[in-house]
Amino acid sequence: MTAANLLVELFVEELPPKALKKLGESFAQGLVDSLRAQGLATEHSAVSPFASPRRLAAHISAVLAAAPDKAVSQKLMPASVALAADGTPTPALLKKLASFGADASVLPALKRQMDGKAEALFYDSVVPGATLAQGLQKALEESIAKLPIPKVMTYQLESGAQPGWTSVQFVRPAHGLVALHGADLVPVSALGLHAGRETHGHRFEAAMDPVVLQHADFYAEQLRDQGAVIASFAQRRGEIARQLQHAASRQGLTPIDDDALLDEVTALVERPNVLLGRFEEAFLEVPQECLILTMKANQKYFPLLEESPGKEGKLTNQFLIVSNISPADPGAVIGGNERVVRPRLADAKFFFDQDRKKTLASRVDGLAKVVYHNKLGSQGERAERVRAIAHAIVNQLRMATLPYTVDAQDEFAVLDSKAQEAALLAKADLLTDMVGEFPELQGIMGGDYERHEGLRDGVAIAIEDHYKPRFAGDTLPRNHTGTVLALADKLETLVGLFGIGQLPTGDKDPFALRRHALGVIRILTEKNLPLDLPALLQGALPAFGELISDPTEALQGFFNDRLAVSLRDQGYSAQEVDSVLELAPTRLGDLPRRLEAVRAFATLPEAASLAAANKRVSNILKKTEGVTPTAVDASLLREPAEQALAQALAAVRPHADTLFDQHDYTASLQALAALRAPVDAFFESVMVNAEDAALRANRLGLLAQLHTAMNRVADLSKLAS
Dump pLDDT digits (tens) for 148-187.
Answer: 988 888 888 876 555 656 788 898 999 999 999 999 999 9
* Contact criterion met (CB below 8 Å) for 149 and 23: yes
> 366 in a domain, yes or no?
no
Instruction: Give the Cα separation of 551 and 497 in Å (integer).
Output: 9
- Give Cα separations from 135 to 64, 139, 196, 655 (angstroms): 10, 6, 17, 70
> 124 in a domain, yes or no?
yes
For the stretch 497-509, pLDDT in tens is 999 988 888 778 8
pLDDT for 367 beyond 70? yes
Containing H/E element for 190? Answer: strand 189-190
Instruction: Give the Cα separation of 259 and 266 in Å (integer).
Output: 10
Q: 483 and 378, same structural domain?
A: yes
Instruction: Give the Cα separation of 706 and 661 in Å (integer).
Output: 18
pLDDT in the model for residue 405: 47
Q: 614 and 527, same structural domain?
A: no
Q: 286 and 211, same structural domain?
A: no
Q: 143 and 54, same structural domain?
A: yes
DSSP state of 213: -
Q: 160 and 124, same structural domain?
A: no
Write the CATH number for 492: 1.10.3210
Instruction: Report the number of distinct structural domains present in the chain.
Output: 5
Helix axes 665-672, 640-661, angle to 10 degrees: 170
Q: 524, 540, 570: which is the final residue of a domain? A: 570
> 345 in a domain, yes or no?
yes
> 697 in a domain, yes or no?
yes
Residue 389 belongs to domain spanning: 373-570
Q: Where are the beta strands (DSSP E) in 197-272?
A: 198-199, 211-212, 253-255
Residues paired with residue 303 on neighbouring β-strands, in sequence order: 319
Q: 41 and 60, same structural domain?
A: yes
Lowest mean pLDDT segment, chosen from 73-77, 632-636, 708-712:
73-77
Mean pLDDT of the chain: 87
Nearest to 444 by CA among 311, 296, 290: 290
pLDDT for 91 beyond 90? no
Write the CATH number for 668: 1.10.730.10
Over residues 450-479, the mean pLDDT reads 85
Percentages helix, strand, coil for the chain (3-state, rounded to 5) are: 55, 15, 30
pLDDT for 541 beyond 60? yes
> 30 in a domain, yes or no?
yes
> 538 in a domain, yes or no?
yes
Q: 145 and 179, same structural domain?
A: yes
Alpha carbon dihedral 557, 562, 566, 567, in 10-degree steps, equals 10
Q: 14 and 152, same structural domain?
A: yes
Q: 38 and 176, same structural domain?
A: yes
Total-model pTM? 0.76
pLDDT for 553 beyond 50? yes
Cα 621 to the chain's mean position, in Å?
40
- Give Cα separations from 425 to 290, 431, 451, 464, 557 (angstroms): 20, 11, 12, 11, 32
Q: What percent of the chain has pLDDT over 90?
A: 46
Q: 681 and 608, same structural domain?
A: yes
pLDDT in the model for residue 99: 76
Q: 128, 145, 174: which is the final residue of a domain? A: 128
Q: 204, 227, 250: which is the final residue of a domain? A: 227
Q: 215 and 164, same structural domain?
A: yes
> 428 in a domain, yes or no?
yes
> 612 in a domain, yes or no?
yes
Q: 380 and 506, same structural domain?
A: yes
